[in-house]
Amino acid sequence: RQAEELAAAFEPATTTDGVCVEVVANIGGLEEAQHSVKLGGEGVGLLRSEFLYLERTEAPSEAEQDKIYSDIAKSLGKDRTFVVRTLDVGGDKPLPYLPMPAEENPFLGVRGVRLCLAEPELLHTQIRAILRSAEHAKLAIMFPMITSLEEVREVKRIVAEEKAVLGVTAAVQIGIMVEVPATAVMAEIFAREVDFFSIGTNDLTQYTLAMDRGHPKLAKDADAMHPGVLRLIANTVKGAHTHGKWVGVCGGIASDPSAVPLLIGMGVDELSVSVPAIPAVKALVRTLSKADCQKLAAEVLQMGTVAEVRTRLSQQLAD
Ligand code: PEP
Ligand code: MG
C-alpha cells in the first residue's frame, strides 16, 4: 500500500479529463530541492535566491553562487524545470553591504528587479552564476516585481550578453513574476516578449488591494480570493495563452486546496507550491475535471465578494 502510494507520487498530476498540470516546488535552498524530488515534485517553480544574500556582511561570490545553483540543478536533473528568481530584496529586507537609503514606503520603493537594475554588477554576477547551471537542468530565469516592458527588455539584454560571454548555448527560458497590477492588466503585451509568467499572488494581492501583506490588522483581509485579484489572474492567463506562453502561480494560494480547482479552471498550467504540499496538490488535481473547473471559474468570476467566493470554493471542495 505504502509502495503504491509512493509510486503514485511520481506519476504526473493529470485531471480526470486528461489535462496535465505541472506541480513544482517553491524552495529556498538545496535541501528543499532534494526533499521536493523525493515527494514527487516535478521541478522547481521558484527558487527564492535571497537566502544567498541575506544575513551576511558581503555579497556572495560568483563561485559560491555557481556551486549552489549547480548543486540544486543537479539534484533536479535534466528532465526537471529549475526556475531561479533573481534577487528580490529592497528597503524592507536591507543588505548590509548595499547601502540603500531609508524609504518611507519600502514596498513601493526600490525592490526586486528595480534594485537589481540599479546595481548592475550584482545582477550580472548573479546571472552568470545562474547560467552556469544550465547544463544540469531545464533552466529558466525569472525576474520579480516587473512593472514595465523596458525592464523586461533590459534584463533580456543582460541575459543575452552574459550567455554570449559564457558561450552558453542551452535554451534558457526568461519569465517574469506577475505581482504588480499594471503587469497583470497588460499581460497580453508582456506575453509577446517573455517565455512565461509566474503569478506572485502574495504581492499581487497586496498591491491590488492596497493592503500590506504583513499588516497586523489588514493581512487577514489581503485575500487573493478577492474578485478584483481573481480577475487579474484570469486576465494574466488569457494574455499568456494568446501568445502560446505558459502561466504558473507561485503565491501561497497555489498550495490552498480550495483555490486549486479555481486556478485550474482559469487555465493555470503550473502550480508552484510549498514542498510539503506537493503530494496533496498532485492527488487533488487527479480528482478534478478541467471542464468542471472551467464551469466553476466562470461562475466565481461573476461574484462580487470574497465571502461568496470562499463559500463556493469550500462547497466545491466538500463535493
Ligand atoms: C509572491 O509575491 O506571491 C511570491 C511568490 O513572492 P514572495 O512571496 O517571495 O514575495
Ligand atoms: Mg513577491
For the entire predicted model, the pTM comes to 0.97
198 near 83, Cβ under 8 Å? Answer: yes
- Compute the distance between CA of residue 37 and CA of residue 27 in angstroms, rounded to an integer: 11
Long-range contacts of 90-99 (CB under 8 A, 24+ apart): 90/114, 90/115, 93/50, 93/54, 95/53, 95/54, 95/59, 96/56, 96/57, 97/56, 97/57, 97/58, 97/59, 98/59, 98/122
pLDDT tens column, 265-280: 999 999 999 999 999 9
The closest residue, in CA terms, to atom 4 on ligand 1 is 200
25 near 75, Cβ under 8 Å? Answer: no
Residue 131 has pLDDT above 80, yes or no: yes
- Compute the distance between CA of residue 25 and CA of residue 4 in angstroms, rounded to an integer: 22
pLDDT tens column, 235-254: 999 999 999 999 999 999 99
Burial class (CB in 10 A: 0-12, 13-18, 19+), 62: middle
Strand partners, 26: 46, 274
Average pLDDT over residues 108-118: 95
CA of 5 to the centre of ligand 2 (A): 34
Structure ipTM: 0.99
What pLDDT was estimated at residue 4?
A: 75
pLDDT tens column, 4-33: 777 788 999 999 999 999 999 999 999 999
pLDDT tens column, 33-68: 999 999 999 999 999 999 999 989 999 999 999 999
CA of 200 to the centre of ligand 1 (A): 5
Atom of ligand 1 nearest to the CA of 203: 2
CA of 16 to the centre of ligand 2 (A): 32
Q: Nearest ligand to the C-alpha of residue 85? A: 1
C-alpha cell at 239: 494574455
Atom of ligand 1 nearest to the CA of 198: 5
The closest residue, in CA terms, to atom 10 on ligand 1 is 203
CA of 212 to the centre of ligand 2 (A): 12
Q: Which residues line ligand 1 (CB under 6 A)?
A: 46, 48, 88, 179, 200-203, 250-251
